[in-house]
Structure 1
Amino acid sequence: MTLHYSEDFIGWPEERVVFPLANLELRVLPGDHPFYLAERDAIAENWTKEVAANPALFDGRMLFQKRLELRDGKLLGESHIVPFSTFMWWRRQEKRHGGVHLFAYPVLATSDNALVAIRMGAHTANPGQVYFAAGSFEPEDVVDGHCDVEANMRREVLEETGFDLSDAQADDGYFAVRNRRVVTLLKVFRFDLTADEVIEKIEAHMLVADDKEIAGAVAIRSADPKAQPYNIAMLPVIEWYFGQKVNR
């Protein structure tokens, strides 16, 4: 199957509008991403600057979409494995081109109608920003040539918070939202604990975790965009989630 990717997201809902997905099919292709091949020198030059500004950065491997299409409610993707430095250069482009960044937010909901997110540490690529425990799709998320989205979410949440998503009640289906050539996948996981109880457990996990990427956890109780220093991808998500509650 060859995807006919549109630079303009023709046929997609408008930016910052959360919409349901019927299904996912995210293929991972062998070989190098065309953007990486075309921009290799610029990627290396930019990475030198990135590491000079933040020596803690690590040039690991991640999936970067070459094509992404929405067809009859089904999200179809083709990606390649690239160095993280490729993504860092791509996201600095004023008019991003050559690919699409796709990642997944596990939306952690609590028994007292709050959401729980994390605040990133000062040494990370998004210092101080607040968003749901998440990370880029990585090679270990690839199963039989396809990206396993739920495996990615389980790993990231467990590493960063100590919570096992299998202990939560997952809502049916996925949702998605796009902004500036970044597409966010969403799935809601509901825990039978209050937000304060979840945060207490996360803070206890932080004391023993090998992964020291997060600086804390926060409860989100409204769609107020100024309540926290949110990553921009969070804003349509909290507006959608708390808007649903109001409209039920």
Structure 2
Amino acid sequence: MDKPVAVVVGVGAERGLGAAVCRRFAAGGHHVLVAGRTQAKIAQVVRTIEAAGGTAEAIVTDATREADVVALFDRAAAPGTGLAPVDAVISNAGNNRHIPFLEVEAGLFEDFWRVGCFSGFLVGREAARRMVPLGRGTVIFTGASASLRGKAGFAQFSAAKAGLRMIAQSMAREFGPAGIHVAHVVVDGGIEGDRLLSRNPGRAEQAGPDGLLGIEPIAETYWQIHCQPRSAWTQEVDLRPYKETF
């Protein structure tokens, strides 16, 4: 195949950001490793990519488990596959819900940290291990409004996302001079995907036309980051619908 490989971690429903990123990189000529926890969901993403003429494979991955993440990247670099080395990595795992601070148990706080921060460390480390010897590659982390500020009822989510942002900044400073483009995308607003709309069916109507972040436009920004010339790299970009207040 001799295709560059994109690894997208944290893929869920087909109408979600992870799936949209997979489709965009496949359309750009990458063989995509679609990594998520639910086989049925990631298999559907692969079928959609293949139906459009792209190539992809589904790999069940729990991004909070070191062995799973290492195995995922080992698969990307496996000999005899006809694939080029890993070219782009997107860390998209996340969980978010409102929980009053006094109701946040220690185990729950740790679960949020593992999904929102620790998984990013594992993915970023394995990406760097493969990319640094090549002297090139892109690593993109999905952030949130909580990466920058903590709101009432979201301490567990904000702590994780703020930590992920620091991982992205530290990696960028360490590996940028080695040719690795590390970027952090602050998704500042509600995403018009299955996760939000299933929990709040009236949210899209309430927001109005283009009042929520579209998944394809976000994915297009990820692709644009990947394509940037190294004389003008973005380390952080924030995205919000035009109606969203700053």
TM exceeding 0.5: no
Structure scoring higher RCO (CA < 8 A, sep ≥ 6) equals 1
Q: TM-score range by the shorter chain?
A: under 0.3
Q: Calculate the TM-score normalised by the size of structure 1.
A: 0.25
